[in-house]
């Protein structure tokens, strides 16, 4: 099996996880900027984090033959402090020309607050100004549908943003159609507890098809499994999906979307 892990928070993972992913057939890992497991107190914390994502993690991945790419932003969990967000957003352009940067992400909403929405608009503007791909995080549980609709409104209102250059992650049964109908890409996050289980993700594929959709493990600070993508591919095989369909979802689709960034060379 060969696959791309399009959304993994490797800074929260041990080097053994890189090895397990490589052994399972992972060739490329993409790491959106996210929460550090705690709230950072100052913009300098983000400077160090962006340096880690663009300088240090590619080296850790390369030891196992994995290519490492990343996305930059201030995540919605830390976006309540608008002044801090402004400082972080001002810092990002300095890092955009690093060779492993794919775009702005994962931006989005966490609790659908006013400040989060303001910071989301600021980061959409940043992406549009610098012609960057966009990766969007959607809130969980009862906030997901409302948050997804708010995000789609912001995207539609900014005429500079092309929907095919934007992926909405953590879609579920009640949001996937909204996202695909808007011409955007959709990501399904495979989680052992919250979010999509492998079985649910495959049900979604069987219902909504295999176009403009990918799967990822997120593998962050919460209970998560860095091998969720290959395990789901195995389950697809067990359920009778053709090899070519499985390969499309776990390898070709991420490649097609990510290749819209000139930095994505594999
Ligand atoms: Zn994430």
Cα 129 to ligand 1 centroid, rounded to whole Å: 24
Q: Say whether 125 sits in a helix, a strand or coil.
A: helix
Average pLDDT over residues 241-246: 97
Average pLDDT of the chain to the nearest whole number: 96
pTM metric for this prediction: 0.96
- Rounded Cα distance between 19 and 41, Å, is 33
- Rounded Cα distance between 253 and 250, Å, is 7
DSSP string, 73-124: ---GGGTT-HHHHHHHHHHGGGTTTSTTEEEEEEEE-SS--HHHHHHHHHHH
Give me the sheet containing 166-168, strands edge to edge: 3-5, 26-31, 67-72, 101-108, 133-137, 166-168, 185-189, 213-216
Q: DSSP letter at 53?
A: I
Cα 216 to ligand 1 centroid, rounded to whole Å: 9
| Strand residue runs (E) in the chain | 3-5, 26-31, 67-72, 101-108, 133-137, 166-168, 185-189, 213-216
Report pLDDT for 223.
87
Report pLDDT for 216.
97
Which residues have a beta carbon within 5 Å of ligand 1, which is an ion? 34, 218
The neighbouring-strand residues paired with 167 are: 135, 185
pLDDT band at 95 (very low <50, low <70, confident <90, very high): very high
- Rounded Cα distance between 230 and 4, Å, is 10
Q: What is the biggest distance separating any 2 CA atoms in the chain, rounded to whole angstroms? A: 52
Cα 137 to ligand 1 centroid, rounded to whole Å: 7
pLDDT band at 191 (very low <50, low <70, confident <90, very high): confident
Report pLDDT for 192.
80
Which residue, 39, 103, 41, is CA-closest to 70?
103
Residues in the chain: 266
Average pLDDT over residues 138-164: 93
Cα 106 to ligand 1 centroid, rounded to whole Å: 6
**Is residue 207 pLDDT above 80, yes or no?**
yes
Cα 25 to ligand 1 centroid, rounded to whole Å: 21
- Rounded Cα distance between 199 and 191, Å, is 11
Instruction: State CA 15 to chain mean position distance.
Output: 21
Report pLDDT for 143.
87
pLDDT band at 33 (very low <50, low <70, confident <90, very high): very high
Report pLDDT for 248.
98
Cα 34 to ligand 1 centroid, rounded to whole Å: 6
Range of lowest pLDDT (44-53, 70-79, 190-199, 245-254): 190-199
Average pLDDT over residues 174-179: 96
């Amino acid at each position: 099996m060969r696959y791309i892990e399009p959304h993994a928070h490797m800074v929260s993972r041990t080097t053994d996880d890189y090895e397990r992913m490589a052994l399972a057939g992972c060739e490329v890992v993409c790491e959106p900027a996210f929460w550090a497991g705690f709230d950072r107190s100052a913009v300098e914390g983000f400077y160090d984090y962006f340096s880690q994502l663009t300088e240090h993690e590619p080296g850790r991945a390369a030891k196992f033959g994995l290519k490492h790419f990343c996305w930059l932003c201030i995540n919605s969990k830390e976006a309540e402090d608008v002044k801090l967000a402004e400082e972080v957003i001002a810092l990002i352009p300095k890092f955009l020309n690093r060779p492993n940067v794919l775009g702005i992400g994962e931006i989005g909403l966490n609790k659908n607050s006013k400040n989060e929405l303001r910071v989301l608009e600021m980061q959409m503007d940043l992406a549009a100004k610098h012609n960057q791909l966009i990766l969007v995080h959607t809130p969980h549980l009862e906030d997901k549908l409302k948050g997804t609709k708010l995000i789609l409104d912001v995207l539609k209102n900014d005429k500079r943003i092309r929907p095919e250059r934007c992926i909405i992650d953590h879609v579920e049964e009640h949001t996937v159609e909204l996202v695909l109908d808007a011409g955007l890409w959709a990501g399904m996050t495979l989680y052992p507890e919250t979010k999509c289980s492998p079985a649910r993700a495959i049900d979604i594929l069987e219902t909504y098809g295999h176009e403009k959709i990918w799967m990822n493990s997120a593998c962050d600070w919460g209970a998560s499994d860095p091998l969720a993508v290959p395990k789901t591919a195995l389950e697809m095989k067990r359920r009778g999906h053709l090899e070519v369909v499985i390969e499309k979802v776990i390898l070709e689709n991420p490649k097609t979307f990510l290749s819209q960034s000139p930095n994505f060379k594999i």
